Amino acid sequence: MKPAALRPQAKRDRQDEVRYCRIKASQQIAKDLVAASRAALEQLQQNPGMGSPRIGQILDIPDLRSWRVSGFPLIWFYLEREDCLDVVRLLSERQDILSVLNAN
């Protein structure tokens, strides 16, 4: 098992999404988002290679992988390191993901 290490921007992304859910939906939906995002990371910690490498290939970012958050239009982006999962971002499908990741 490799622990997930969220970069500061990934933490802010999750906080922003939780805040958005609280405002636009409900406190319960925000709690469900926290649980679903945590469950997605737990899956990746057990099997880091199961994320899709496609976006990393398109952007020519070696080892960048993505994994969807079940029940939400959100995707975790991470790099598998020797000792951890380097979690780069949590982005919404509503965003121009290629532009956002290419700008970093």
Which two tokens mark 59? Answer: 């952007």
Domain architecture of the chain: domains with CATH:
4-103 (3.30.2310.20)
pLDDT in tens, 14-50: 999 999 999 999 999 999 999 999 999 999 999 999 9
Instruction: Provide the β-strand partners of residue 91.
Output: 75
Res 104 pLDDT > 90 = no
pLDDT in tens, 41-72: 999 999 999 999 999 999 999 999 999 999 99
pTM score over 0.85:
yes
Cα within 13 Å of Cα(52), Cβ side = 9
